[in-house]
Structure 1
Amino acid sequence: MPLEIIIGLPHLNNGPILERARALQQTALISANGLSRWSTSRGWREWTGWRLAQLSNAHGLAGLCLDSAGFVAASRYGGFPWTIADYVALAAAHPFRWWASADYCVEHEIARDRAEVIDRISRTIRANRDCRLLADDYGIASSLMPVIQGRRPDDYDRCLDALWPSIRPGALIGVGSMCRREIHGPEGLIAVTDHLDRILPTGVRLHLFGVKGTALPFLLPYGPRIASIDSQAYGISARRTALRRGVAKTDRLVADHMESWIDAQNARLAERPQQLPQGLPPPADPPVSDPWEQAIAQARAEIRDLIESGDLEHDELTAPWIEQWAADIYRHSLAG
């Protein structure tokens, strides 16, 4: 099956953007944030539920998928303003082609060190499991797309190992934290894709979130493995054009850029596949010799295990506990 280009939509309001998406007959992706309802009646911006009526506007689209808005939630709100139960209820409100599990992205501006990257991978594992349990209750598990997270290529193994018992043969898996990556390099988009292609069984396919169009020729050699990519990059292009011309960024202008973006991606899909030489593997983490730092690392690892097992909630704030937890470990090591 050929690689599919999925259009990220900013909203489902009736108007030029949705009309153009229908005319293009391109599968669309809507973010949970794009369907959110907000209120400032109490003096601050507060999430108050979903704009479910907008889902009726999805008629005529080639297909509609749902994303949990993990990056937006982390960067704009400091975490999900809705619960997993809220999100799965949204997924059950429409026959989405697929809906992505909630996940915790690890882009550099969100996870600033290795410990935080691994913490967020553990939260992603638990969020995936919570989504699947609730999906079973709603009868929508068949359309759930698990999402894996990582910074280094082998980071994604941790998610896969934990989630594999629940992943069906021939599954579609979402790969997060891809949109801000360089194409090349030991932690680049192609390094991650190549690693997953080598370790996954035949028949498992990938959706790569937010991949830049310039990467498409380098993804073509992975043909059967890559099912789809999505992007809303045309919105940035429309904003730049509006600023340059000194005009409003109207939905009609955005729709024109969306069509041009789709044409450009289809042209890239027709290009000759390009192989990208792989760089050296990322350096291994240096060994920790300081006893206090060892205690911190052990405390983090134990907390991650509790999150993944469900003994702590995936969104529970654990930072204040780490030093206290580590202090107990440190004192025990001295006493031993």
Structure 2
Amino acid sequence: MLLVLISPLLFRYEALLPILGYVMIGVAIVAFLVWGYRHMRARNQRLERLVEQRTARIQLQARQLARYNAELIRSNKMLQRTVDEKSQVLGVAAHDLKNAVFGIQALSEVMLEDKTHSEATARRLGLIHNSADEAMELIMNLLSSAASSVHGSMEKRPFDLNSMAELVTHSFTAQAERKNQSITCFVPPEPVLVEGDEDRLREAVNNLVSNAVKYSPLDSTISIEVVGSNSHAYISVEDEGPGIGEHEQEELFKPFERLSTKPTGNEGSSGLGLYIVKQIVERHQGHIEVDSEKGNGSTFTIALPRIEAPQEDKPSDGVPHERSAPPTLSFEASAVAELRN
């Protein structure tokens, strides 16, 4: 009897079980979504605070970096002014010393021409003259170094590299003859024009030829050659000296570097000549390279951007033309040998 009364209730409870399960699942899903949303919102808030902290830190570092950069620029300007002032003082002092040393140099040379002196006196006069030559070379290098360190404008204009090479050859002929050396000059029949400060570039070539005379043996030949391509101009100085080792070539163009080889006529060396050459050439968008090995002499080659002849020297077609900028220099030592052939 009791079973009959309870049966309808059990039947109804069994019918509600799936509905109750679905409700519980829905509640669990909603609870999980609410928990996930709150967790994500808390995480986003933490990330936002972290981003704000890092942004503030970056802004502080940026302000510090800007302050350091301003101080660095100010210090660099002060350092540049100091260097320029030192260069100017050095130039003035060297210029004043040059006049005194030139007097000693000229007077000793005149006295050496007098053959009435005794052998001992002549030897002493020779030492005085050699010392004056060394001092004059050092002074001239100091003047050039001082001029190169001041970032002033150069007087650039088109000029013929052939004429400059011939002028340098004539200026060193007498000096080479004192060591029974000969200087030859090879230039192409057509002009090889470059644009630059002719005096400074001639000074660079003078330093190369002076070194060739200084380190070449007696009764040797020094060659100066100009070669031109469509876009580049090359001037090289070749000697028959003792050559330069590979390890020395890496340090060759640094200031106050001296070679292990010694001059063949007891001449002096300041260690500034090749450094000055490199500075002058690079200020003309050029490049210098050395080809040498021990026992086989050396060849120094300067490469410069070549320019075309001025328009007025060409047949005019009545239309003005704008000259293009000098080409970007791409220099290889093998290019000169190819042009020679």
Scaled by the length of structure 1, the TM-score of the pair is: 0.22
Larger Rg: 2
Report which structure shows greater RCO (CA 8 Å, sep ≥6): 1
**Larger helix proportion of the pair:** 2
